[in-house]
Amino acid sequence: MSDYKNSKWASEILNLQREDGSWGYFHTLSEPGKTPITTEQALRRLYILGYSIADEPIQKSVAYMNDCLLGKKQIPDRREKLHNWDIFTQLMLSTWIRKFTKDCDPANKIADIWANIISLAFADGGYNRDKYVAAYEEAFDIKPRGGRLVDFVNFYQVSLVSDCLDEPIESLVFDYILNHDTGIYYIYESRLSDLPEVFESKKASRYLAAIELLVNYKKSKGRLSFVVDWLNENRNENGKWDMGSTVKDKVYFPLSDNWRKRTSREADCTYRIEKLLWHISIIGNNHCNTWIYGKPGHYEIM
């Protein structure tokens, strides 16, 4: 168990969890004064702090999301007009369920649907926008709202289908994501094949977040060596990493209770980067291994 699971950050979030396993609104704070955090924000932060499906708060939340996916409950968010809201809701719920467990048939079914849509879009050896739209319309029997379908290179689809694509298609999809001009929507706004200019920056932290999604693809092994080189070049004189105080965003950092001491910030940054390097080194050799969060420099596999 990581020390970060017992941090004040985790405690603050867990104290806000409702009996049904949610934190109120799921995706957007429609009424910010009533709910200080969304379910999605809570899950992302707890995931970063080391919580897994083995922890009761996550089990409760996954059960809640599964009930919403099955139509037994509904998320309280206002329906967004820019999306086919029901499809978008299924996508969000399935993505977050599968971040914690692959043992959920309804979520796995949604993942398979999106994997098929994306696979058909790359069936000719490259991305075909028209085939993507056609596959979407056939899968859901509906046209995109407003006649426009948002690109699949965003947090949800990139996360959801990482273990669902056949090898040749995955290779094409991985390269497409890596060279996508606007990065991964919701996570990082620039091309991932171009490294951030400044290591000690929030942009570099968001860049790491995007790479942390890509390492779940089997094809990441060997194709992210330039990221490994960049990280190694940015080790400090102690052989560790310090991304600076500006990366404190209460999402990815801090992990420790406070950053008054540089050593705490350095420990947090080193923990995150060592874990990422471990993932890059192991994906492709044993893709089914599960990461067990530990202290910086401490790795276990089950």
Cα(122)–Cα(124) distance, integer angstroms = 6
| Per-residue pLDDT at 179 | 97
pLDDT for 226-248, tens place per residue? 999 999 999 999 999 999 999 99
Place of tokens 């009424």: 31
Q: 184 - beta bridge partners?
A: 188
Q: Positive or negative CA dihedral for 168, 174, 179, 181? A: positive
Cα(282)–Cα(296) distance, integer angstroms = 17
> Which run of H or E residues covers position 10?
helix 8-14
Given pLDDT bands bounded at 50, 70 and 90, which one contains residue 5? very high
Between 147 and 58, name the one with better pLDDT: 58
Given pLDDT bands bounded at 50, 70 and 90, which one contains residue 295? very low
Between 32 and 54, name the one with better pLDDT: 54
| Per-residue pLDDT at 281 | 86
Q: What is the pTM (predicted TM-score) of this model? A: 0.90
> Which one-letter amino acid corresponds to residue 217?
Y
Structure tokens at 74: 């509904």
- Answer yes or no: are the C-beta atoms of 153 and 176 closer than 8 Å: yes
DSSP label at 211? H
| Per-residue pLDDT at 282 | 76
Residue among 218, 223, 99 nearest 155 (CA): 99
Q: Is the link from the previous residue into 254 a cis peptide, with omega within 30 of 0? A: yes
Cα(133)–Cα(114) distance, integer angstroms = 12
Cα(149)–Cα(153) distance, integer angstroms = 12
Residue-by-residue DSSP string for 111-138: HHHHHHHHHHHTTTSS--HHHHHHHHHH
Given pLDDT bands bounded at 50, 70 and 90, which one contains residue 33? low
Cα(58)–Cα(52) distance, integer angstroms = 6
Of 78-82, 121-125, 203-207, 297-301, give the lowest mean pLDDT range. 297-301
Residue-by-residue DSSP string for 19-72: TTS--S-SSS-SSTTT-SS-HHHHHHHHHHTT--TTSHHHHHHHHHHHHHHTTS
pLDDT for 240-282, tens place per residue? 999 999 999 999 999 999 999 999 999 999 999 999 999 998 7
Does residue 31 carry a pLDDT above 80? no
Question: Crossing angle, helix 262-282 and helix 225-233, to 10 degrees?
Answer: 160
| Per-residue pLDDT at 283 | 53
Range 61-89 average pLDDT: 92
Length of the chain: 302
Range 137-149 average pLDDT: 82
Does residue 147 carry a pLDDT above 80? no
Range 173-178 average pLDDT: 97
Structure tokens at 265: 């910030």
Structure tokens at 254: 């801090």
Q: Tell me the average pLDDT of the chain.
A: 90
> Torsion angle, CA of 155/157/162/167, rounded to 10 degrees?
-140
